[in-house]
A = this chain, B = another copy of it.
Amino acid sequence: MNSQLKRGTLEMCVLVIVSRKDCYGYELINQISACMQITEGTIYPLLKRLKEQGSIDSYIVESQEGPPRKYYSITEEGERTKQVQLQEWQEFINGVKKIINGGGSDE
Distance between Cα atoms of A36 and B96 in the complex (Å): 8
Is A42 in contact with chain B by the CB < 8 A criterion?
no
Contacts of A20 in B (CB 8 A): 103
Q: Contact check: which of B31, B88, B89 meets A96 at CB < 8 Å?
A: B89
Interface 0/1 of A67-107, CB less than 8 Å to B: 00000000000000000011011011101101110011000
CB <8 Å contact, B88 and A32: no
Contacting B at CB under 8 A, from A25-73, are 31-32, 34-36
Interface range on chain A (Cβ under 8 Å from partner): 20 to 34
CB <8 Å contact, A8 and B16: no
Once A86-B100, A99-B13 are accepted as A-B contacts, the answer to whether A36 and B5 lie under 8 Å apart by CB is: no
Contacts of A98 in B (CB 8 A): 35
Contacts of A89 in B (CB 8 A): 5, 96
What are 21 A-B pairs with beta-carbon distances under 8 A?
Answer: A1-B88, A2-B8, A3-B8, A4-B7, A4-B8, A4-B9, A5-B9, A5-B88, A5-B92, A7-B8, A13-B100, A16-B99, A17-B103, A31-B104, A35-B96, A35-B98, A35-B99, A35-B104, A36-B95, A86-B100, A93-B93
